Amino acid sequence: MQGETTNFPNEMHTIEDFQAFHRWLDAQKGFATDIFLNMTMLSGEIGEVAQVLKQVYFMIDPAHTDQEVKTLEEALTIHRENLGQELADCLAYIFKLANYTGVDLQQAYLEKMAKNLHRTWKYQAEEE
């Protein structure tokens, strides 16, 4: 992909732009818009993220490798590109599901994070 020029149909700077891109891509490619199928596809992609993270874990845990144990950062460096690809796939399905269910994901995210600013979690670490 490096060195390739890609012409996207919009600037793709905001969540709204990403959702618009996926509406366009679905129309261009004729992708299935069934919410249940796409949720299943997202679940599969989450499993692929877990598989990459399992590989990272096996590289940093002496009990799981017969090779030189890596630091977390070394293992992540080795797997970062693949991890990024799998996380991007997850994000794409999240945008698609928001589109198919009529959710303005940008607005929903802003509203939820505003609530989180004032929320405390019972497992939250105590302030020192």
Give pLDDT tens digits for 110-125: 999 999 998 888 887 6
Average pLDDT of the chain, as a whole number: 92
- Cβ distance 45 to 96 under 8 Å? no
Q: Is the pLDDT of residue 1 over 70?
A: no
Residues 59-93: tens digit of each pLDDT: 999 899 888 999 999 999 999 999 999 999 999 99
Q: What is the DSSP string of 6-36?
A: ---SS---SHHHHHHHHHHHHHHHT----HH
- Measured between alpha carbons, how far is 67 from 106 in angstroms, rounded to an integer? 44
pLDDT, residue 128, reads 47
